[in-house]
Chains A and B, each alone.
Chain A
Amino acid sequence: MKVVASAKKLAVPAILLVGCALSCSVSNSNLVDRYVELVVMYVGINFILTLSLNLVNGYMGEFSVGHAVFMAIGAYTSAIITVKVFSLSLGPWIFPLAVLTGGMASALAGLLVAIPSFKIRGDYLAIVTLAFNMIVKSIIENVDFLGGPRGYLGIAKLTSLVWVFFFSFMALWVIRNFVYSNYGRGVVSIREDETAAIIMGVDTKKVKIMTFMLSSFFAGVAGALYAHLLQFISPKSFDILKSTEILIMVYLGGIGSIAGSVLGASVYTVLLELLRPLGIWRMVIMPLVLVFLMIFRPKGITGLREFKWFIPSAEKKIKLFKHKV
């Protein structure tokens, strides 16, 4: 028994270590095609985005439609740090620090949506998030320091497979822990019946602040990784179309489910790559897929179900299906 218990304890660091080592060796060898590696990195970044939005839209049942704004804040903050503030000669550790700082800046911005959400719900909150997206985009366009509408240049390619794996894994692990804690149950109770939740003692304000901040933190992390992968960001990279793309991934995979986010991000990203020969027409097909999905399978591929290995061992017996949202 003891051996099993300690093995379980080591599982998380072990997976992290093996994963990092593996992705490091893949990057440094020629075993995997560079293009495939790039697509895998996009899957990872999109996974972080999808999962972070799923927290707000799926688990909490609120409706954020401007998620790209948090990505933008993470991207620009981290880019400023690696380009202007610190010289890269300080060492490779500047990059993860820049990514985390980007995430934190984004988490702070998350407060700007969290606080209105105390009073405003549903459609109106959706518009608040969208307005916020537009405001930040317009501000960036008007600030010369950030490159204005032309975009921000000179970002080094610092995102590697290892870092994408590391941050994807952290997002998965941390958000899973959150969801299966009493805070996470509080999040779902808000979705199910906010009035009943607050009367039963759930501090809904605290829960909303934490959820929005956690969500925007990881969106910021994803934005930072994105900026240092593409090496170029502009206000246009983070407009409503990007936000819609993230929404598609969330609802394609399935709301309120980590497995759904893994599937949604992977299927969407890979499908988009496979359809590349179609050129612009693939961008016509994608929104159609979303519409059909909403009509015929509104709960996404997984439909509130969860992969067994994402569930903490103590929680495995809960039957998470056959439920109408």
Chain B
Amino acid sequence: MRLGLSYLIQQFLNILQLGSLYALIAIGYTMVYGVLSLINFAHGDVFMLGAFIFFLAALWLKLPFIPALIVTVCVTVCVGVLIERLAYRPLRNAPKMSAVITALGVGVFLENFTLALSPYPQHIPEIVKNRAWVMGQVTVSSIQTIIIAISVTLMVILDFLVRKTRFGMALRAISWDISAVPLMGIPVNRIISQTFALGAALGGAAGVMYSLAYPVIDPYMGIMIGWKAFISAVVGGIGNVRGAMTGGFILGTVEIAVTMFLPSTYRDIVAFTLLFVLLIFRPHGIFGTARSVKL
């Protein structure tokens, strides 16, 4: 029987790996949506940039893994903050649609800009020596361990930031009502910049780890992964940080389950059908509650 216990444990590890990548990116979507009510379409491309910069840092600067990761995160943070500063901030008071289209435009710009610099896809050299530990019939690779460990650590730190710090309080206040916040002495622009910075940091880190696990990068890789992460955010109820993490693991589970029973090409159909159905029947996510609109 293919569906033995060790097979299930193996798949569970795969779910953890895929799910935590989705969760990391989903947090970026959900936090920005929380503060600006804006779907930051460019976020998937920040993830792509993460993979790309990591590739350059490892290939040109010959950095080992940890320094390369730090350099990458620093660069993506700058990119994330710059995008907000240059493209979204001028549109803060414009109609919502202008901002969303701008986000789409920024995304396409990042993709094509990356493509224009060099021909892709390219292979990432082996930066972390991939060892495999075999325990019974279960194989655990060092890359898998690194991905899961780093992701979980980052998520715990973020959860602490959102729940326990002044920044987190301000963030939640803005999500609640952006117009009342300046009255309470909260520096809105700074909090928004910090939100973008955090989101981009997690997105960049996810890009690095993704390229460890799947070492082929191309400029359009952020579209599909970004959308999957966005689905995770919607599943968890957009605007809700813990929801986004849970959503990431739910989508990971669904996708791995699909590949267990169907050809892997059906994965996207299932993921997007899930989104489609969810939006129609539970637009505020599995855990979310609808905010009533006053006439």
Which A residues have a C-beta under 8 Å from some C-beta of B? 57, 63, 65, 116, 119-120, 122-124, 126-128, 130-132, 134-135, 138-139, 141-142, 195, 240-241, 244, 247-248, 251, 279-281, 283-284, 286-288, 290-291, 294-295, 298, 325
Residues of B within 8 A of A131 (CB): 272-273, 275-276, 279
Docked complex: B105-121 residues within 8 A CB-CB of A: 105-109, 112-113, 115-116
Main secondary structure of the interface of B (DSSP, over half): helix
The answer, yes or no, to whether B90 is at the interface (CB within 8 Å) is: yes
Partner of B109, one of A247, A287, A325: A287
Is A281's CB under 8 angstroms from B116's CB?
yes
Partner of A127, one of B90, B112, B273, B275: B275
| Closest partner residue, chain A, to B267 (CB atom) | A138
CB A288 to nearest CB in B, in angstroms, measures 6
Partner of A135, one of B96, B99, B269: B269
In the bound complex, CA of A118 to CA of B39 (Å)? 21
0/1 interface trace, chain B 78-103, chain A, CB 8 Å (1 if under): 00000000010011001111111110
The answer, yes or no, to whether B200 is at the interface (CB within 8 Å) is: no
Residues of B within 8 A of A280 (CB): 112, 115-116
Main secondary structure of the interface of A (DSSP, over half): helix
Listed residue (B102, B108, B227, B273) with the most chain A CB atoms within 10 angstroms of its CB: B108
Residues of B within 8 A of A128 (CB): 276, 279-280
Residues of B within 8 A of A241 (CB): 108
Which B residues have a C-beta under 8 Å from some C-beta of A? 37, 39, 87, 90-91, 94-102, 104-109, 112-113, 115-116, 223, 227, 230, 234, 263, 265-266, 268-269, 272-273, 275-276, 279-280, 283, 295
| Closest partner residue, chain A, to B234 (CB atom) | A127
Is B265's CB under 8 angstroms from A142's CB?
yes
Is A295's CB under 8 angstroms from B90's CB?
yes
Residues of A within 8 A of B94 (CB): 294, 298
CB A239 to nearest CB in B, in angstroms, measures 8
Is B272's CB under 8 angstroms from A134's CB?
yes
21 chain-A/chain-B pairs, Cβ below 8 angstroms:
A63-B97, A120-B280, A124-B283, A126-B100, A130-B227, A134-B227, A138-B266, A139-B269, A251-B101, A280-B112, A280-B115, A283-B108, A283-B115, A286-B108, A286-B112, A287-B106, A287-B107, A290-B101, A291-B105, A294-B99, A295-B90
Is A325's CB under 8 angstroms from B279's CB?
no
Known contacts: A126-B100, A142-B265, A283-B112. The answer to whether A290 contacts B105 by CB under 8 A is yes
Is A291's CB under 8 angstroms from B113's CB?
no
In the bound complex, CA of A287 to CA of B42 (Å)? 12
Known contacts: A123-B100, A291-B102, A298-B94. The answer to whether A141 contacts B108 by CB under 8 A is no
Residues of A within 8 A of B101 (CB): 247, 251, 290, 294
| Closest partner residue, chain A, to B96 (CB atom) | A122
Is B102's CB under 8 angstroms from A294's CB?
yes
In the bound complex, CA of A141 to CA of B263 (Å)? 12
Listed residue (A116, A142, A294) with the most chain B CB atoms within 10 angstroms of its CB: A294
Residues of B within 8 A of A244 (CB): 104-105, 108
Residues of B within 8 A of A142 (CB): 263, 265-266, 269
Listed residue (A132, A283, A287) with the most chain B CB atoms within 10 angstroms of its CB: A287
Known contacts: A63-B97, A122-B96. The answer to whether A116 contacts B39 by CB under 8 A is no
Residues of A within 8 A of B223 (CB): 240
10 nearest CB pairs, A to B: A290-B105, A287-B109, A287-B108, A283-B112, A287-B105, A138-B268, A134-B272, A138-B269, A280-B116, A291-B105
Residues of A within 8 A of B268 (CB): 134, 138
In the bound complex, CA of A244 to CA of B223 (Å)? 12
Residues of A within 8 A of B105 (CB): 244, 248, 287-288, 290-291, 294
Listed residue (B39, B94, B234, B263) with the most chain A CB atoms within 10 angstroms of its CB: B39
In the bound complex, CA of A294 to CA of B37 (Å)? 18
Listed residue (B96, B105, B112, B272) with the most chain A CB atoms within 10 angstroms of its CB: B105
In the bound complex, CA of A142 to CA of B234 (Å)? 26
Residues of B within 8 A of A139 (CB): 269
Is A127's CB under 8 angstroms from B109's CB?
no
Is A195's CB under 8 angstroms from B272's CB?
no
In the bound complex, CA of A244 to CA of B272 (Å)? 19
Residues of B within 8 A of A248 (CB): 105
CB A277 to nearest CB in B, in angstroms, measures 14
Is A287's CB under 8 angstroms from B112's CB?
yes
Known contacts: A132-B276, A138-B272, A247-B104. The answer to whether A284 contacts B112 by CB under 8 A is yes
In the bound complex, CA of A244 to CA of B99 (Å)? 14
In the bound complex, CA of A127 to CA of B268 (Å)? 15
Residues of A within 8 A of B107 (CB): 287
CB A250 to nearest CB in B, in angstroms, measures 9
Listed residue (B90, B101, B223, B272) with the most chain A CB atoms within 10 angstroms of its CB: B101
CB B105 to nearest CB in A, in angstroms, measures 4
Partner of A116, one of B97, B108, B279, B295: B279
Residues of A within 8 A of B113 (CB): 284
Is A124's CB under 8 angstroms from B276's CB?
no
Residues of B within 8 A of A123 (CB): 37, 39, 96, 100
| Closest partner residue, chain A, to B266 (CB atom) | A142
Partner of B98, one of A135, A240, A287, A298: A298
Listed residue (A132, A134, A241, A325) with the most chain B CB atoms within 10 angstroms of its CB: A134
CB A128 to nearest CB in B, in angstroms, measures 5
Is A135's CB under 8 angstroms from B272's CB?
yes
| Closest partner residue, chain B, to A325 (CB atom) | B95
In the bound complex, CA of A163 to CA of B89 (Å)? 45
Is B279's CB under 8 angstroms from A291's CB?
no
| Closest partner residue, chain A, to B227 (CB atom) | A134
